[in-house]
Amino acid sequence: MSEQASTPEVRPEPTGASHEVAPEEMFFSTTDERGVITDANSVFVKLSRYPLRSLLNAPHSIIRHPDMPGGAFEAMWQTLTGGDPFCAYVDNLAADGSRYTVFATVTPLAEDGGYLSVRTRPLCTDLLDTVRGMYRVARPKEHEAREGGASAHQAAVLGLSDLAAQIDDAGIGTYLDVMHLILPAEIEARRAAGVGIPRRPEAEGPVGRILGSATELSDALDGWSERQQELASVADDLVAAQAALDASMDKALDAANLFKDALAAQEGFSPALMTIDLWAQMMGVIVEVGDDLAEDLSTLRNSCRSTRFRVSLAQLQNEAVGQFAAEISDGGLEPALAVRAGSSIVMLCRAMSEGFELTRDEMTRNAALAQQTVELIDNAGGLIAMPTDLIENWRDQVAGRDDAAIAALIPQVEEQIRAARESLDMLEGLGERCAGLAVPYDTSAADKALEAIRRQAALLVADEGR
């Protein structure tokens, strides 16, 4: 790379001014393993207000706003060094001291090494406000730690711990859960705002074909996302249903213990109450089965969320491909940026290709987990049905008998039958929904479109070298 960095000796102080990122503006940059910028696009240059020569070979922290807590970047590096992509809301500092806020995704590049970052305007303002509120709490604690003699890294670790505690207190879960929430939400917001692959019907040659294939890939990825969203919704409903089932079974177990107490109080142990004793024993076994079902449902839900996150990342990166192609089609880029456009598309394609391998594996795994869940639901339903049928028959047989002990149990038995039947109906409905999604998903259309983009991008790179 011929350009030499001319990073300022002293970074600008925040002025309090700000400028906004337009919804269709997408940042692109790559860094090496140390976070040093190796490539950038025209939008990054425009909004950072640094010339390209000042960005290249400079640390990415050149644009770090001092209001950002180090804990957010500590979370980023922990995630990236683990080989996983990362996303966050970030306040950046431009060369003139103004602030601009972005939604940033960062992806490890297995083939090329280093990291790829795509950044956009945050569109989910409610989520942005929530995260910013957490930043405002964590950052002063980092400052206090630094003043007390802590290193920058120690303060960042403290900040991350504080952010994690806030996330947990908010009932969200973990930092990973935050990422799984905000990236799909931002993609949905972009779709709702009408932002997507640019339309350039006049574009010809490799650029025109890239735009056409990117549109096809966008449609295919939308299908992936819809399937994973539906499966994730079913998984969420299953987890909620299982919690309700647990509560129902716990009540049934409490009732079973009351029934046993009633039996123990009967002289001679009435034969009519022996069925109740058997029912009580069976309910104790079913409660243990519910615990196994809960673990499997949690695995399915978490896997679906992870897969949807990866699909959303591919959607964002594919949109960046379209934005690059549109920049080339529109012309007007300075030579140093124009010559990078084709190479940047190739880089994005590599990132998507690496992500596709993992996403396909996860979607296959999710289908298998869904099928396993269907089988578990069927088994649980069968187990619940047996004692329910038993106690219903008992109720019908003893109806009208003049036995005080039996009469006292009838209302509670009726309640247990009602709750069990509701649980069975609920499980049956969710099992049917899950069964409809427990099939492998055809990814051939997305694979074909991505390969077409790669071929045309290679032609662009070849043209750049001439």
Read off the pLDDT of residues 25-43 as tens digits, 9 standing for 90 and up: 998 899 999 999 999 888 9
Stated length of the chain: 466
Phi, psi of 36 (to 5 degrees): -90, 130
Task: Give residue-wise pLDDT tens across range 415-455.
Answer: 877 877 787 788 788 888 888 888 888 899 999 999 999 99
Reported as a single tens digit per residue, the pLDDT across 323-340 is 989 988 888 777 777 777
- Least-confidence region, from 11-20, 85-94, 326-335: 326-335
User: Buried b vs exposed e over 440-465: b needs ≥16 C-beta within 10 Å?
Assistant: ebebeebeebbebbbebbeebbeeee
How high is the pLDDT of residue 8?
A: 46
Average pLDDT over residues 113-117: 92
Closest CA to 64 of 107, 33, 21, 35: 35
What is the rounded distance in angstroms from the CA atom of residue 226 to the CA atom of residue 221? 8
Q: Which residue has the higher pLDDT, 69 or 433?
A: 69
Per-residue pLDDT at 295: 78
pLDDT for residue 67 is more than 70:
yes
Signed CA dihedral, 306, 308, 312, 317: sign only: positive
Could you tell me which residue, 259 or 69, shows the higher pLDDT?
69
Average pLDDT, the chain: 87
pLDDT confidence of residue 35: 93
How many other CB atoms sit within 10 Å of the CB of residue 11? 15
Question: Quick one: pLDDT band at residue 9, thresholds 50, 70, 90?
Answer: very low
Q: Which band of pLDDT confidence, cut at 50, 70 and 90, is reported for residue 391?
A: confident
The residue that leads in pLDDT, 335 or 9, is 335
> Contact at 8 Å (CB) between 146 and 133?
no
Tokens 């957490």 belong to residue: 134
Does residue 267 carry a pLDDT above 50? yes
Question: What's the pLDDT tens digit per position in 175-202?
Answer: 999 999 999 999 999 999 999 999 999 9
% of residues, the chain, pLDDT over 70 = 91
Q: Number of helices and strands (H, E) in the chain?
A: 11, 5
Q: What is the token pair recorded at 262?
A: 């009633």
Q: Between helices 205-264 and 404-437, what is the axis angle to 10°?
A: 170
Q: Does position 162 have pLDDT exceeding 80, yes or no?
A: yes
Question: What is the phi/psi pair of residue 19, to 5°?
Answer: -140, 150
Q: How confident is the model at residue 465 (pLDDT cuts 50, 70, 90)?
A: low
- Look at 300 and 165; give whichever has higher pLDDT: 165
Predicted confidence at residue 427, as pLDDT, reads 77
Helix axis angle, 274-330 relative to 205-264, nearest 10°? 170
Q: DSSP letter string over 364-410? A: HHHHHHHHHHHHHHHHHHHHHHHHHHHHHHHHHHHTT---HHHHHHH
How much is the pLDDT for 164? 97
Distance from C-alpha of 115 to C-alpha of 42, rounded to nearest angstrom = 18
- Whether pLDDT at 271 is above 70: no
As a whole-number percent, the residues of the chain with pLDDT over 90 amount to 53
Q: Flag whether pLDDT at 390 surpasses 90.
A: no
pLDDT grade, residue 152 (50/70/90)?
very high
Q: Tokens for 64?
A: 């770090």
* Residue 105 binned pLDDT confidence (cut-offs 50, 70, 90): very high
